[in-house]
Chains A and B, each alone.
Chain A
Amino acid sequence: MKIIPKRALLYLRVSTEEQVDNFSLKTQEDICRREAERRGYIIEKIFREEGRSAKTIIGRPTLAKLLDYCRKNQKRIGALIIYRLDRLSRQTGDYLTIRNKLNNYGIALISTAEPTGTSPTEKLIETILAGFAQLENDIRGERSRNGMRTRFMSGLPNGVPPPGYIMLNGYVVKDIGCFNQVKKAWDIMATGTKSFKEITGILNSFRLKSGKTGKRYKFTPKNIYRIFRNKHYMGVIVSETYQLEVQAQHVPMITKEQFLKVQEIFDGKNKNKINIVLRNQNNVDFPLRRFVKCAKCKFAFTGSWCQGRYKKYAYYHCRGRCENSNMPINVMHQSFAKLLKDRPITAEHAAFYLSLLENVFQRRFTKIKQKQIRTASQISKLRNLRQSLIDKNLAGIYSDKDFKEQFDLIEDQLHNMALFSNQTSLEKYTKEATKEYIEKIIVDLPRAYEACDIKQKRTLTSLLFPKGLIWNYPGLNVIR
């Protein structure tokens, strides 16, 4: 009779990297190996899980691999050996689930430190021990939570302090390397003259490093926003968990007044009228953005690009994210073109356009005439200047680079002036010709709209539809 050797798997786990360094995994392995030898098992594979907690089975890739391995090789594997039951899980529910899976595969679970087996008494003891593992974990968690709350209430923040501060022996202290620079950034921000993008550039130019880790801070507009909203800098710590604000023990970087001033700037009450966040309101891809409202929720439509499998697609969609509000831009634009066609400019408006044109044209034409009078003498002066420049370059007074720069400048001015002295080009610039040009535009608005730039498009839309448009699922209508 041939004896088939029994095969076993080892599962070793430590929750923190410190334990890994302290050879705890090695210790577990040695003990498990001895147990396997004692029971006559050949070790087929060892699964090592490092730096993972057993509070949950989520986020433990090695455990998942182990169970998968057990499923695929259930006929060959006789046992799974662990150092202690809490290596598998500290949650009784999770532990019993894993245990049931192994039972179904016909794999025995062996703990080197506790009695495990298939008899009713062994099963009971095993469940009780798994319960103790959870109890231990729960007590530890409760202690930790209480400690964190006590710490917070005494004015000491939990977690990593923001740039400008470091944690030293449990206390938040100034980060000498960057405290003053971050303070300077707060001072600049309080002037209301810098946007997020600019202040990000300024902070990055300081090349600040964390005094704790030595790593360089990389500032982005997003984390800059968080920094300038953080009350930590004025000596107050805030907890979303406890819904509390507490006076902190650390030295504030700024005063409460300065903090509030910066918050006002963020909230749009900037006396210097500088846009803190640079937004592109005139996006060429979405000229109808914010003009069209949703018939369901009355929010304005916005536009964005969606990534498809092969290319990007542009859509308008309701800001309230109403159902079926995603609209390819061509659908919306076709509907808008139809609306433009059905809504020609009235005779009164056309007359007003032309009357304004007459004023604008007259003003510009007067400038041309004035320029023509000056042009003759200016052309002569510029020609003299050009000749003098050539002479000086030949004499070696001006370098070739300077000569080229100045020469191009003079040539450009001469070219512009030639236009004013040249009657043929000005012949086309008459009141009648400009009137005809504008008339063509206002007679065929859909075509003119297509040729307009984004600012013209938006101005024209707001003129024609002063109260905006509404998307009626489907079809655009005018709000009256």
Chain B
Amino acid sequence: MEDVDIEEAREILGDTAKQLTDEQLKDICVEIQYLVETWLDDYERSIFGDKTLRELLGESV
């Protein structure tokens, strides 16, 4: 997983991120990124015959 741009996240999340420190926001970003990555894996499995892109490429995505 790549590092999420905290400033960009703060900008998108707007008011909901105002009360959060950088550290808290980073934690949230990591968790959301994990969910998005795994959901995308699920989608890939549904179209690539039960395999993720990572598995097809035989390397880390």
A interface list, Cβ under 8 A from B: 346, 348-349, 351-353, 355-357, 359-361, 363-364, 367-368, 371, 416, 419-420, 425, 428-429, 433-434, 437-438, 441, 453, 455-456, 459-460, 462-463, 466
- Decide: B38 and A360 in contact? CB cutoff 8 A: no
Judging by beta carbons under 8 Å apart, are B48 and A419 in contact? yes
The 8 A-B pairs at the shortest CB distance, nearest first, are namely: A428-B47, A352-B12, A437-B43, A356-B36, A416-B56, A348-B13, A357-B36, A348-B14
Choose from A361, A425, A433, A459 the contact partner of B31 (Cβ within 8 Å). Answer: A459
Beta-carbon contact of A367 and B12 below 8 Å: no
Q: From residue A423, how far is it (CB to closest CB) to chain B in Å?
A: 13
* Known contacts A367-B61, A371-B57, A463 near B12 by CB under 8 Å: no
* Separation of A314 and B49 alpha carbons in the complex (Å): 35
A368 proximity list for chain B (CB < 8 A): 53
Q: Are B48 and A360 in contact (CB under 8 A)?
A: no
Residue of A nearest to B16 (CB): A348
**Inter-subunit contact A360/B37 (CB<8 Å):** yes
Taking a contact as CB atoms under 8 Å apart, the answer to whether A352 and B32 are in contact is yes
Interface residues of B in 11-40 (CB under 8 A from A): 12-16, 28-29, 31-40
Residues of B within 8 Å of A434, CB to CB, are 40, 43
A466 to B21, CA, bound (A): 14
CB distance from B39 to the nearest CB of A (A): 6
> Hey, which chain A residues are within 8 Å of B43, CB to CB?
433-434, 437-438
Known: A364-B40, A456-B39, A459-B35. 18 other contacts (CB 8 A): A346-B16, A348-B13, A349-B16, A352-B9, A352-B13, A355-B8, A356-B4, A359-B2, A360-B36, A367-B53, A425-B47, A434-B43, A438-B43, A441-B39, A459-B31, A463-B28, A463-B31, A463-B32
Chain B neighbourhood of A460, CB < 8 A: 35
A277–B34 Cα gap in the complex (Å)? 26
Q: What are 20 pairs between A and B in contact, CB < 8 Å? A: A348-B12, A348-B14, A352-B9, A352-B13, A353-B32, A357-B36, A357-B40, A364-B61, A416-B51, A419-B48, A419-B49, A425-B48, A429-B47, A429-B48, A438-B36, A438-B43, A456-B38, A459-B31, A463-B32, A463-B35
Q: How many Å lie between the Cα of A403 and that of B57 in the bound state?
A: 24
Cβ contact within 8 Å between B32 and A356 = yes
Q: Give bound CA distance, A463 to B28, whole Å.
A: 7
Determine the distance from Cα of A416 to Cα of B12 in the docked complex, in whole angstroms.
37
Minimum CB–CB distance for B12 against chain A, Å: 5
- Contacts A363-B2, A425-B47 hold; do A348 and B15 have CB atoms under 8 A apart? yes
- A459 nearest in chain B by CB position: B31
A466, B39: Cα distance in complex, Å: 21
